[in-house]
Amino acid sequence: LDEYPQVFTDLRQVMTGGEAASLPHVQRLVTDFPQIRLVNGYSPAESMIFTVAHHVTPADTARTSIPVGRALNGKQLWVLDAHLNLVAPGVTGELYMSGLGLAHGYTAQ
């Protein structure tokens, strides 16, 4: 986007993931290329590409960070405490993921 913005001219969708999405770059992409569907995703490497994804909207650019989204089809998320019990909504815990793309017998946390 900084060095070769012209590559975005004919694109219909862009996906970002790995590191936290750069808010200034997201704002610029949404403003300069409104025809592009921007998807922000997240997953640890052990869970294959994305476990969660979020379609970025112009309203998201007013946030302090871009959401990573909700679980994709075939993926599940739980927030658990130190004893592996579900925590109540709004309570801090560890994010656990499972589902398609996670190696059989592998546990990611």
**Residue 109 binned pLDDT confidence (cut-offs 50, 70, 90):** low
Instruction: Please name the amino acid found at residue 94.
Output: E
pTM of the predicted model as reported, rounded to 2 decimal places = 0.81
pLDDT at position 44 is 80
For the chain, what are the domain ranges? 5-99
Q: What would the mean pLDDT of 52-76 be, rounded to a whole number?
A: 94
Cβ proximity of 42 and 68 under 8 Å? yes
pLDDT at position 13 is 97
pLDDT at position 99 is 85
pLDDT at 98 over 90: no
**What is the rounded CA–CA span in Å between residue 36 and residue 10?**
9
CATH class of 5-99: mainly beta
pLDDT at 26 over 80: yes
- Residue whose pair of structure tokens reads 């658990």 in the numeric block: 80
- Residue whose pair of structure tokens reads 């409104």 in the numeric block: 34
Q: Where are the alpha helices (DSSP H) in 1-109?
A: 23-32
Cβ proximity of 63 and 69 under 8 Å? no
pLDDT at position 25 is 95
